[in-house]
Structure formats: structure tokens, C-alpha cells
Amino acid sequence: MERESSSNNEQDEWSASECGFNDPEVQRVMRGGSAAEDITQYPIHGWVDVTQEFHEACAELLPGELAQDMLFGLFEAMSAIEIMDPKMDVGMGFDKFDLPPPSFEAAVAMGAIKLDALEPAELIGIFDALFACLVSWLEGNSMDQVLFTCLYLHAPSQIQDKALRVFCIAVRNLIVVIKNIIILAAVNEEEDFQLYGNSALLAAEKAQPATIAGQLKDVEDELVRKCKKLPPAEDQNLMAVVHRLRFMRHLFQAIYQVELMASAESAEEAVNEIYKNLNVASELLPLIKRTIERGTQPVEGSEAPNPMGFSPRIHDRSQPPTFPRSIKIRERPASYQFLEEMVARFKYACKVIRHKDYYSALVSSSWLSSGILFYLSCLLQNFFIEYSRKSGHCILSRSVLQNLFSSSIRVAHGKQSMKRFLRHSVQAFNSPPVLNLKHPVASDPKVQQHLETFFRYCINMNTFNQFIRLCGFNRARQRDKLAHLIENFDPLQVDAVRLDSLMNQMANERAMEGNELHATALKHSTHFSTWVLYNCFRAMLIYLMSGFELELYAVHEFLYIYWYPYEFLVGFLVSALTRTENILLAQEEYAEHQSKMQVNGGGGGAGGKSRKAAKPKKNKKQQRPYRQEIIYYHALLSLCGGMYKAMGALTKDGRVRLPMSKFDNEEIRYNRRFAPFVPLTSPPPVSYVEFKSIRDHMMLCSVEELYSMAAKHFDQARNVLESIQNPEQEILDLLQIARTNFVVMNVLARGHQKEVKRQPEFDFSKHSYFPIMKLK
């Protein structure tokens, strides 16, 4: 306030505000004296109404002209909430409801909510609305704005109606349990889930999750008895109430047991118990969905999810200022749909954990069955990747899997769980004899020491752990975190290579000593480096391809995105797998004829040329553990090649819209897309210049040639995919993509639509990595 009056006579001095303190916090302190300024001190001088002058003054400004406070900048402008905007503003709509939102006590006093003798229809309405709130909470809304708009949840113990009371207590306990699970898994981000809410409300009544199931069961039994006394035509509504209570009981039990797993003795038993509960819950859901309309329905135009018991704006004024205000609670049928899918995902998660136990039990028994082992461990990791794709935005599903996994490996392997898990992972991948406890070489102290160092290093780097954890995050964050994870693989690779060479060195020493058995076991070992590389390649591939799913790439960028896996990544994966397969086969052979072994036949890890290695020895087909995966990657290779050449052809044909050249710098974009791969020494980064020369070479061909080359790739992919027996849905989808694109490429090669240079449509709806190209 003094600034203006003093500015005249203190022209030589800098006032504080002129010194460029643009930080809003500083600004605030300077202006108000303290950050927690008391608004009630105003007016100090008095309010002067200048409305008219203000109108006139603003009218003098030119369109686009701004009058600004000197401390006001872009940052402040961006952080401003638009008042009266329905999405941002709490004030919006307050005048629609003249009365302040009633609290629980007020509502009881007014007689707006019933505490006793609720009709079945009312119960169904409230239960359905609460499930809808629960789902909305899991979708990322604040629990205050969804669940705690239900006044009944504020004080369940005061409710006399037993069914409602027990249900409300169950919901409150469920909130606590779900929160714990999500906190424990720690794969949530602010956009997924609001951890914070009105915990003061939760604290008022003690949580006793262990008693919930019993209480629910009692009420159920009571209601069922009541049902039996009613004439058969009238018991329908009451049975619908019972179904909801029962569903709640089983869902609660399942989720509660996931939380308990953290301290459980036997993982298998717990998982079986969870699975049983989930089964019952999923059987109840169709019954519940059919009776939704038996309950009271929300009033048209009202924000409350149910006419009685909800007060949608009760917490509006207790939320932080910039909090989203307008909450849409899910519709009831959609909520049950969500729950149904969630239960199905939980069941799926349980299944793999059971597999997982099976697998760890197998590991100790025999190393000859490594094929199955690998399949299972592969299943586990693929599973995590797959699961992450399916569960998408459901934070609870993702958290549950993480918890099931971490507690089951803890139970399976005890204290040193991660080290054991990693050992098993390598063993399952390529079964190095040094990890096989029955093999005499495993007890060699020197070998043990080296292994110990390597695994400790792996654990300290935390890379593998993170890879699995990472799959729990939502897809966008996953990609972000993968970029950092890939970097970590580099030191691991260095260490794994060192370990391998140490093993080879020791093989020579043992051979000199005449210890033939140990020498062969140690010789030609590339086990560990292959294992690390394989994982690294996969992380890279997921990183690159997830950009399609997240719609990050522009069409004109597709060319180099597909080029990289075609030229390098997928090929590397195939050769890593082929090499591993050869090692395994060689080991098996060696075990079969202990004396006459032909290790040099293929065990040498000579970096077998992928295309040749997959085909020979037809009689060994069943024993080739990687066959499926190699075939799959071959198909990916052809598809990537097809897309790469197709993009080249379309670009040359002038069918791809390119950015205006003066705004464009392809090198920068290229470098940015592959930035996370730069720190890796293996595979070495590929510079833009290299890419450019390869592309320019390809572009020498005529457009027609390019189209037919692309068609050839798609044809190859089709052939490979068709050879897969009992294909999964993904394979069938890829097959359709390969077929359609083959036809499109052929059509274009023949000069169809030669005059109209329209960009084809890229439809990623069948598969997140590969589009179907559509000519308009």
C-alpha cells in the first residue's frame, strides 16, 4: 500500500518489489506479512466501489492488451482456477441448493434418513449406490467426494437396521483394507488413486476387519430365515438384499486375505482361500445385476447416487482449493461391470501365483525339466506384462498382483527371497550347471563366491525387482520408468559378462587339473550375460512399442520406430533365445551320453544365426523349450519389417503427411525417441547418421518395389503365424493384421489410387503394436 506514495521520493532506491522476487511465495509474504494472511483484517481503508470506472477503464484497453500486476506472470496465470467453470469450481452450483448440505446428525433430526426398518428396495438402492461409490473411488476420485457423501458411513454404529449397519461397517473396513493394500504395493500415482481423504471420519469407529465376515453371515442368515416365512412371490426383493450382503462378504474376505498374505505362513493355502471367495463373488454378480432395478433409483438430475442417505456436497468445502469438484459417480450397471472385471482379474492373478508355487517346487527337483521351468518363469514375466495391459487403470487389481507376488515369493523362499528368485529365474531361463545343486560343480567354493557376488550386485541394482514392480504402474508411468530402468541394465551386463568370462577361465584351470566334469560344466558359459541381455531387450521392446499404445508417435515417425526392432531388437531377442535353446539342448545331450558329448555342436554360444537355428532337427521339436517364443518373435520381426518398408513406400509415394520442413528436424526427433538406449553399451546405440544411410539405401528402390517388399514381409509373418498350433487370441489378431496389410500393400504396388495421395488410416484397435492399414 505504501509503495505508491513512497515511490516518488525514493526513486534512487530499489523497492523490494522491483528486485525481481517473482516467486509467488515471496510475493505473498512481502504483500501480506505472513503466508497465513488473515482475510478478515480487510478492509483496512475501506472498499471503494469502482465498478463503473472499471468498466470504462477496461473498455479503453485494446483487444489483446493486458493490464498486469508487475509480479504477475505466466506461472500465476496458468495456476489460476476459472471460477464458475463446472469442472474446476466448487462455487459452481452452490445456489442451486439453498440449504447447506446436511450432516448425519442434521439429516437424522430432519428425518431425511431412516435409521430403522428400511424397505428391501431402499436397502438395495443404498447398497448399489455404495458399490458405485466404491468403484468411483477406485477410479481415482477422493473418498470424501464419493464414499463419504453417504451419510450412513459417517456413523454406522447409530444405524438400527442390522443389514444396513453391518454393510456400512463392512464398507468402512473395506476402505481401510484396500488402502493398506495399495500403500503396500506402492504402484499408485496421483492420477490413479487418491490415498488421502477424511481419515478423521474413519478413525471414529474402530476397524475390526476380522469380524466382518461373521457379522455379514449372521445378517444373511437372519434375512434368509425371514425370506422363508414370506410367500414365494414377495421374497424376491429380500433375496436381492441377501445376494448383495453375500457378495460383499466374499469380496471383502478375498481382499482382506490379500492383505493378510503379507504375514501368512503358507501362500498356497491363502491363495486357494482367496480363489474360492472370488469364485462365489463372481457367481453372485449376475444375480445382482439382474435385480438392480428393484432398488430405489437416483433421482433424475440429482447428483446423489441414491435418493436417501447421500449428501453429495457435504465435503466440498473441506477439499483443497485446486481440487476437482465435479464428480461423476459411476452408474450402477457400469459399476457392477467394473467389479465383475476386477474379480475376474483377481482370479487370473491367483492362477499365476499358483503356477508360480508349482514352478518353485519344480526347480529343486530336476534340472532336466528345465523346459517346463522356463516356460513357467516366462509365463510369470509375460504374465506381468500381459496383466498390466489388461488391468489398465484399475489400481486395486495392479496392487493385488504385486502383493500376491511379493508375499508368495517371500513365503516360498524365506528371508533371502529375491536372491533365490533371481537364481531360479536364471536357472529356469538357461539352466547353467553351476546353479544346479546336484551338479558337483555347484559346490566349488570359488564358483559359489562368484555367484554370490553377482547376485548380490543384481539385488543391489534392484533392476529385476523393479522390472516386475514396474508392470504394476499405469501404462504411461510404466514407459517413463522403463526409460530409467533400461539404463540400469548396462552395469549388470558388464558384471554378467565378467562372471561368464570368470567361469570360462575356471573351466580352463579345471581342464588343466584334469577335472573334466567341472571343466565342461563351466566351459562356453554365456548363461548370465544372455540372461541379462534377454531381459534388457525385452524392456527395450516394451518401451519402444508402448509408444504406439500411448499414441505418442506421429505417423511420419513410424518408419524409424519400426525400423529399430526390425533391424536390431527382435533379431537380438531371437538370437538370444536360439543361443539359449542350443545351450539347453547341448546340456541335455551331454547329460544323456555323459561320456561322449558334442558340446561344440551348438553349446558354444557362437551367436547362432537366428534364421538357420530355428529350423533344423525336426525330431527335437517337443524338447525345444523356446520354440513358441522364437516363432512369435519371428512373426514380430516380419511385421516390423513390413511396417518399416510400408512406411518407406508410403513416404516416398507422398502419402504420409510430413511436418513443414522449416519446423522439422528429424534428427532431434530420432534422438529423442531412442534417448533411453544411448547409455547402453550392448546393444550399442545407433546414431541418426547410420539410420539415415540405411534408409536412404532402401529408398533407392521404386515405390512399387518397396510396396511389394513390404507385402513380402507381411506374407512371411502370415506364414509364421499360421504355423502356430492352438493359437491364442493375440496370434489370431496378428494374423489378421498381417493378412490385411499384405493385401493393401499388393493393391498399392499395382498402382491403385495412384492419383489420390491420401494418407491411409492406421487402425491400432486389433493390436497395440501393429496397425491395420486402411485406404480411404
Partner 1 sequence: MSTEQPPAESAENESKFKPMIFTNQPDEETDVKLSPGRRNLKKWLGRMVRVTLKNKLTLIGIFSCTDHDQNLVIAHCDTFLPDDMTALSYGNVMVPGNEIVAFEVEMQQETATPDEKKTN
Q: How near is the Cβ of 560 to partner 1 at its closest, in Å?
A: 19
In whole angstroms, give the CA distance from residue 28 to residue 25.
Answer: 5
Give the residue with the Cβ less far from partner 1, 94 or 568: 94
Interacting residues toward partner 1 by CB under 8 A: 1, 3-4, 7, 15, 18, 24, 27-28, 31-32, 37, 39-40, 42-51, 53-72, 76-77, 79-84, 90-91, 94-95, 317, 321-322, 661-662
Contact yes or no for 125/307 (Cβ under 8 A): yes
In the bound complex, what is the minimum distance in angstroms from residue 424's beta carbon to partner 1?
Answer: 53
DSSP state of 681: S
Whole-angstrom Cα distance, residue 418 to residue 208? Answer: 33
CB of 616 to partner 1, least distance (A): 51
**Closest CB to partner 1 among residues 56, 234:** 56
Residue 390 one-letter amino acid:
K
Q: What is the DSSP secondary-structure string of 87-138?
A: TT-SSTTGGG--SPPP-HHHHHHHT-S--S---HHHHHHHHHHHHHHHHHHH
Residue 95 burial (10 A CB sphere; 0-12, 13-18, 19+): exposed
Residue 242's Cβ-side half-sphere holds a number of Cα atoms within 13 Å equal to: 16
- DSSP label at 566? I
Closest CA to 546 of 764, 773, 381: 764
User: Are the C-beta atoms of residues 165 and 157 closer than 8 Å to each other?
Assistant: yes
**Residue with smaller CB distance to partner 1, 58 or 186:** 58
Query: How many Cα neighbours within 13 Å face the side chain of 500?
Result: 20
Query: CB of 317: closest distance to partner 1 in angstroms?
Result: 6
Nearer to partner 1, 53 or 730 (CB): 53
- For the bound state, the minimum distance from the C-beta of residue 312 to partner 1, rounded and expressed in Å, comes to 17
In angstroms, the CA 103 to CA 97 distance is: 14
Query: Whole-number minimum distance, CB 605 to partner 1, in Å?
Result: 48
Q: Residue 310's beta-bridge partner residues?
A: 150
Smallest gap from Cβ 699 to partner 1, in A, equals: 16
DSSP 625-641: TTHHHHHHHHHHHHHHH
Q: Which is nearer to partner 1, 21 or 764 (CB)?
A: 21
**CA 81 from centroid of its chain's CA atoms:** 30
CA–CA separation, 651 and 654 (whole Å): 5
Cα separation, 25 vs 701, in Å, equals 62
What are the DSSP calls for 547-561, one per residue?
Answer: HHHTT-S-GGGHHHH
Nearest to partner 1 of 355, 695 (CB atom): 695
- Closest approach, Cβ 87 to partner 1, in A, equals 13
SS3 432: coil
- Least CB distance to partner 1 at residue 15 (A): 8
Query: At residue 550, what are phi and psi to the nearest 5 degrees?
Result: -85, 5
Amino acid in position 376? L
| Min CB(36)–partner 1 separation in Å | 10
Pairwise CA distance, residues 96 & 753, whole Å: 59
CA distance 566 to 560: 9
Instruction: Compute the least distance from the CB of residue 84 to partner 1, in Å.
Output: 6
Pick the closer one to partner 1 by CB: 54 or 196. Answer: 54
Cβ contact 626:370 at 8 Å? no
Nearer to partner 1, 49 or 300 (CB): 49
Rank residues 621 and 662 by Cβ distance to partner 1 and give the closer one.
662
Cell of 106: 442434521
Q: Which helix (H) or strand (E) holds 734?
A: helix 729-749
Q: Which is nearer to partner 1, 70 or 700 (CB)?
A: 70
Q: Which is closer to partner 1, CB of 208 or CB of 665?
A: 665
Q: Are 430 and 583 in contact (CB under 8 A)?
A: yes
- Residue 43: CB minimum distance to partner 1, A: 5
Q: In the complex, what is the shortest distance from the CB of residue 698 to partner 1, in angstroms, rounded to a whole number?
A: 21
Distance from chain centroid for Cα 477: 8
Q: How far is the CB of 153 from partner 1 (least distance, A)?
A: 24
Of the two residues 73 and 286, which places its CB atom closer to partner 1 in the complex?
Answer: 73
Neighbours of 220 (CB within 10 A): 20
Helices (H), 565-606: 570-592
Q: Judged by CB, which is closer to partner 1: 64, or 445?
A: 64
Q: Which of 67/117 has CB closer to partner 1?
A: 67
Enter the C-alpha cell of residue 297. 433409483
